[in-house]
Structure 1
Amino acid sequence: MNAPATSAARPVPVPQVLSGLEPGPFHDRLAALNHQQAWMNWMGYASPSVLDTVEFEYFAIRNQSTLFDISPMCKYAIAGPDAEAVVNRLVTRDIRKLKPGRVAYCIWCDEDGQVVDDGTVFRYGPNEFRLCCQEPQLSWLEDIAWGYEVTIRDVSREIAGLALQGPTSCALLRDLGLDGIESLKPFGIGSFDIAGVALSVSRTGFTGDLGYELWMAPEGALAVWDALMAAGRLRGLRVIGYEALDMARIEAGFLLPKIDFLSAQTVLRADRAVTPYELGLDWLVALDKPHFNGRRALLELSRKPPRRKLVAIEIERDKPAHNALVYHRKSREVGMVTSALWSPTCKRNIAYAWLDAPYGQTANDHLWVEIYLQKEIRWQRRMARCHPVEKPFFTHPRRTATPPAEY
């Protein structure tokens, strides 16, 4: 089990390969534990992709508890008398139904009904919101808010964040004295304190498991980290990188921008943008609410089947279908795989794939993926049968149990 670095530890610089990137609020602790020295660029921060081994980190998510630095996420504070109206105009869900102290997963679209991004909306009060997302959205938000009495601020560097995920995460927080944390419902927000540092804690995450996200001022970040690591010795706490998290999010049915779909703001080819209906996110579109961006186009699109669809598929045998093409009757190309994984927990070969209509909608038979395997520097081609399935692949009662069981 990883021991916490002390507050007196010598600062560890960002490796030369990532020169120009900003060390995040937890960088000194992460660098001391990053035995692989495997880093990636996440919104200008040096973020670990793997610290020890992907296998250890993945199984810690499903059997213990894990820490992942989510400080690089884009975060925007939206406040003022018209804050609700602005957020409701931005996203496709009806934000009027979101009560203070709650979080909602949302998407937002351009005027053609094409998805710009997805993220989470935190409602802290009647006129106070925070939007968390993967891509920069400040200019888009300012356009949406034109003419409204509202203030929008980019607070990405003002808030440090940690994702604490796994079966023992609630017990660990109780060990730290967070009284009442066991009563926090999924997508709820609570105010707590760790090591004298004020926290906003949400029961949210990207793993599909029991878990929480902890938000704090950067100046208190290391004190919170050290307290978590000390308490986590008895709860199997392990620090993880992006690669293990990516495995868990595929199992949990979460989509990732730039991997499973592209933002309508960044595509170079018009046909690469996608709609909520193509992503299978119809349930996030409230056409009966007042006007929002893209509503007219989405209303028209809702009247006809999507031209293509991102679907969950299960594949025969055990070789992941990374970047594979999908064929009908082994001859006609009808789609492509975006994310793929042999799931260690589900013991299934799973993936997400874009399929042209009618495949994946009304025609689901005789679908095959073309997998290439490298064995001792020689490539082998394998055709494996697949079929669409319901997502998520991984579900467990502990994700929503309130209070969570003792682990």
Structure 2
Amino acid sequence: MSEPVISKTSAYGRLSLYYVAFFSVFGIALPLWPRWLEHHVSLEYVGLVMGISYWAKLVFVPATSWMADSTGNRKTILLALSVVLIGGLILLPYLNGWVFYAIIWGAAGAALSSAIPLSDGLTLRAQQTLGIDFGRARLWGSLSFITFSLLVGWATDVFGIEAIYVAMVLTAVFLLIATISLPGIHTPPKPGKVSFFAPLALPNFPLFIVTVALLLSTHAGLYGFGSIHWNKLGFSNTQITVFWVIGVAAEIGMFAISGRLIAKYGAIPMIIAAAGGGIVRWILLGLASSVIVLVFAQILHALTFTLLYMAFIGYIAKRVPPAISASAQGLYDTLAMGIFFGVFTIAAGWLYQIEGAYSFYFMAVISAIGLILACVLLKRVRAHERQLSD
């Protein structure tokens, strides 16, 4: 059966709607979901519950990425992930004890975050085949994150902590509807058996994927305990969401210019810049108790996340064949938001119990390691490119 013809405008609109829906959920999950969890499980287990959702991606991401490359169909998989998320959220109020929360949110949280490499891969494919602007489509997600973070943060201050849960369920249903409307862009699968680990055979790819995954996972301390830490410093739920919004506003600005930066300077130098920004940001968040310092630290999100992620996309688009791109993005996500994020979230939780700032200082150390690896990567890639040109 032939695929329906999809126009550039239609694909852009549908993908933008998906990003609006996805980040309406994520705009609640990142800044506010730990606040809801700490009212249902003790604080010492919040990091463990969150961490297990990242570890569960060790199953979700390889399986879904392999299916995407084997079939060339990302949309059906995204639909299944949306259903798992909704099912998990519906079950949570009936649970008692952190173990059950870890199991159910482990699956639901993994389903939510596992959609990122697949949806971004679909958008990247639309960029390659239809010419849509990846950053422009992704911008709508950032705007949605801001809107829903502010609205739900305000609703939590007015109506209480359960407003977070209600908003999560409603936005998850919105996500399912938006997923149904996604364009069915097909990627021709590679002939023969597709291996999830095939991208690791590409020159310098293992070092690249470890470097970007390590740097992205430095957000574990912020995502797991940033809101809790700021609340203990005396900030309200509305103020906390404003801090998150500032980071996303900086993200939007970077999305608008990152393409030009990467085209001019290259992906790897931008990864180095992101690593340097991470060292500064995490140290500031550990030291910060004033609004001014917190605002500046959050503005650095433009480097630590957006520039880093767009450099990752740029590297993939240039150096990874489309037939194995889902596996390449899946490997990255498995490391960044699975293995590394899970370990670092739990480590941050232990450190936070000792002293809140320690969890951020730990992330600064990881950023420094990532900076060293990025410099090594740049040297190796340039040496490889010189060999090819000889």
Give the structure with the higher percent helix: 2
Q: Which has the higher contact order (CA 8 A, sep 6+)?
A: 2
> Which has the greater radius of gyration?
1
Per the normalisation by structure 1, the TM-score is 0.27
Per the normalisation by structure 2, the TM-score is 0.28
Give the structure with the higher percent strand: 1
